[in-house]
Structure 1
Amino acid sequence: MATAIYLEHYLDSIENLPCELQRNFTLMRDLDHRTEEKKGEIDQLAKEYIANVRSLASEQRVEHLQKIQAAYSKCKEYSDDKVQLAMQTYEMVDKHIRRLDADLARFENELKEKLEVSSYENLERRTLKKGTRNLKEKKGPKGRSRKGSDDDSPRKKKLKNGPEFSESLLAVHPSDVLDMPVDPNEPTYCLCHQVSYGEMIGCDNPDCPIEWFHFSCVELTTKPKGKWFCPRCIQDRKKK
């Protein structure tokens, strides 16, 4: 059931992605056509200049060269626009990849917590059969009272995990990660500007320039309750 919910939400988030990608690729192709036309115009102007340079007055030469320079400037403008579109397209896809990584990490944590609760409930049932009393007053996994409502269950609370799988999958110590060679195309996060590893937490400021932080870098050992803001965003909020 949880798998279906995560999948449905993710599919909804990428519903418009194909159209957005097609739009950007169409614009980039149009810029290519315009650039080719300008290159043809530059070749023609250059040929005319070379053929008539001796018969042209000084002012006419300057005017002709200015036309060629303007055409070159237009080509550069088209190229810059194409680069911007390419960067925008990359960020667009990378954003969905990071969301998928975060959803997978949250889903894995939910499964882990569900297994912990299930194991405890099985133990509780076996103990009840032996005649042990007042089990409801005993503590469940992670110190949670068994008489608490389902709404207090950790899996019902907001989960904040990083864009990669949690430590049960990665099983990597932070120092080991920092010693690994970093792929220049791998996105970096946190105040340490390193790749994602272990448990991570997302800043609740939608305009946070960093977004994700390693637990150890922000001195966290467990997920905090409610909203969490990174040190930089806290300082910005105080200034305002």
Structure 2
Amino acid sequence: FLETLKEIDDVYEKYKKEDDSNQKKRLQQHLQRALINSQELGDEKIQIVTQMLELVENRARQMELHSQCFQDPAESERVSDKAKIDASQPERSSKSAKKKKRSKAKQERETSPVEFAIDPNEPTYCLCNQVSYGEMIGCDNEQCPIEWFHFSCVSLTYKPKGKWYCPKCRGDNEKTMDKSTEKTKKDRRSR
């Protein structure tokens, strides 16, 4: 990452000193590629930090559940009795049961926001109309009424390259925006 930043600085210094317009264009393109590369590296870092945060949050939830078992012995006995009953029943297909458990756990991780003390004045986002949590993506339509969306609510697992438009702005086609929002964007350009 530091190499990319140094490259940006070096190319920019050359660009400021250059008089030839053709060479300036080449340096400008080189600078643009380096800036895109630095943005991609930054996005990767953000994704790694988000994954680490999710792991820490999951571990905190697990520890909280374990501490509740230690604090309430009657509850832990009920949980162990239920586990014994479940273990005594034969499984139809252990592979499908494990797969179902994994997918259910993954779905719960993705859809359930972490329980924090929520400020009533905090703004809400996304199609789900909830506060900001987890990884989010912004709609590239400047006229989008919602702006920010949770990855899980718009079925994303990572940030796509290039521009991204929310389901409301793009309409039925994933690659284009809804015609009504495109018109307002064209109207803005013509002013």
Larger radius of gyration: 1
- TM-score norm. by structure 1 comes to 0.39
The higher relative CO (CA closer than 8 Å, separation ≥ 6) is in: 1
